[in-house]
């Protein structure tokens, strides 16, 4: 089986056991989440712990992970997939692909141009994420944060009150306010120009000024971090459900050993991606 992200994962189906019980509520942690009605969750060292632990678990189970080995082409022949990388070609009985849809479209063989065209219609947008930290508690109220309506003349999409949502991540022994400001999305280039030429200091100044205006916070942050996440949010435009239906019908009709995962298809959140991956793996074992 192959999982194509920014790496290639190789394993034999016989090297692990699939849990047949589709119930998600069997673990004590899941039971606690249900009982306490968790609206959101994180990990002690941040969500990066999740892929890190998944990777180490797979390696402990004897799975080979090829890092920095992007797929350059996928062909299908005789019920097999031929996956090409810079290191050569791999034959697989099943391919589970979590690449963004438009990236997958670029590496499919010309024989499946119709599928590639459908995938290419699912575009993504970029978002600037600005993390800010201030001394003390400077928020005028407690809460998760807020989103700005698209009808408002504002360059910010929304702000998350991280220190309220997950105070466990605050620096120990000190009072801090942590905020995450999101900007861009479908209006990124219209507001800030081409990704390659965007000035991080300009984005930072907009974030600080907007938060000062919205929340009346005069205190300047003691720490800031600006990241631009390219093509990070797929856009489910009008007709998306029909598009996904056509994609699935094509794959089934052609008998392709291809399974689509990730945020381009049936939900953009981390929870959606986990749930859809679980359903796919359970279906494989039937």
User: What pLDDT digit, counting tens, does each position of 23-40 carry?
Assistant: 555 778 888 888 888 888
97 and 143 assigned to the same domain: no
pTM, entire model: 0.83
Residue 46, token pair as written in the block: 């941040």
224 and 148 assigned to the same domain: yes
Cβ partners under 8 Å of residue 27, min gap 6? none
> Which pLDDT does position 97 carry in this prediction?
96
222 and 268 assigned to the same domain: no
208 and 251 assigned to the same domain: no
User: What pLDDT digit, counting tens, does each position of 188-222 carry?
Assistant: 999 999 999 999 999 999 999 999 999 999 999 99
261: number of Cβ within 10 Å? 21
pLDDT above 80: residue 3: no
Domain at 69, CATH number? 3.50.50.60
111 and 7 assigned to the same domain: yes
47 and 177 assigned to the same domain: no
Write out the residue range of the structural domain in which residue 228 sits.
124-234
Domain at 166, CATH number? 3.90.660.20
141 and 161 assigned to the same domain: yes
Sign for the CA dihedral angle at 157, 223, 38, 233 comes to positive
> Which pLDDT does position 158 carry in this prediction?
97
- In Å, how far are 97, 115, 201, 256, 275 from 243, measured between CA atoms? 18, 10, 39, 18, 21
> Which pLDDT does position 285 carry in this prediction?
72
113 and 154 assigned to the same domain: no
Of the candidates 122, 41, 111, the residue with the CA atom closest to the CA atom of residue 76: 111
């Amino acid at each position: 089986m192959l999982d194509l992200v920014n790496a290639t994962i190789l394993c034999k189906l016989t090297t692990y056991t699939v849990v047949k019980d589709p119930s998600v509520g069997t673990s004590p942690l899941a039971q606690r989440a249900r009982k306490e009605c968790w609206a959101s969750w994180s990990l002690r060292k941040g969500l990066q712990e999740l892929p890190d632990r998944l990777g180490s678990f797979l390696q402990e189970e004897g799975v080979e992970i090829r890092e920095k080995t992007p797929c350059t082409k996928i062909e299908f022949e005789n019920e097999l997939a031929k996956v090409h990388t810079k290191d050569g070609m791999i034959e697989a009985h099943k391919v589970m692909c979590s690449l963004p849809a438009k990236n997958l479209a670029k590496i499919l063989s010309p024989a499946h141009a119709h599928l590639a065209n459908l995938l290419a219609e699912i575009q993504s947008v970029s978002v600037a994420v600005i993390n800010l930290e201030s001394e003390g508690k400077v928020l005028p109220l407690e809460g998760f944060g807020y989103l700005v309506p698209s009808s408002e003349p504002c360059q910010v999409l929304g702000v998350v009150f991280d220190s309220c949502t997950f105070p466990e991540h605050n620096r120990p022994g000190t009072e801090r306010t942590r905020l995450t400001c999101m900007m861009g999305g479908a209006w990124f280039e219209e507001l800030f120009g081409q990704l390659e030429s965007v000035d991080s200091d300009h984005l930072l100044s907009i974030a600080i000024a907007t938060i000062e205006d919205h929340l009346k916070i005069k205190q300047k942050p003691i720490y800031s971090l600006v990241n631009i996440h390219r093509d990070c949010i797929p856009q489910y435009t009008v007709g998306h459900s029909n598009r996904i239906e056509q994609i699935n019908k094509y794959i089934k009709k052609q008998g392709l050993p291809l399974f689509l995962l990730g945020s381009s298809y049936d939900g953009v959140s981390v929870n959606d991606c986990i749930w859809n991956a679980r359903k796919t793996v359970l279906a494989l074992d039937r």
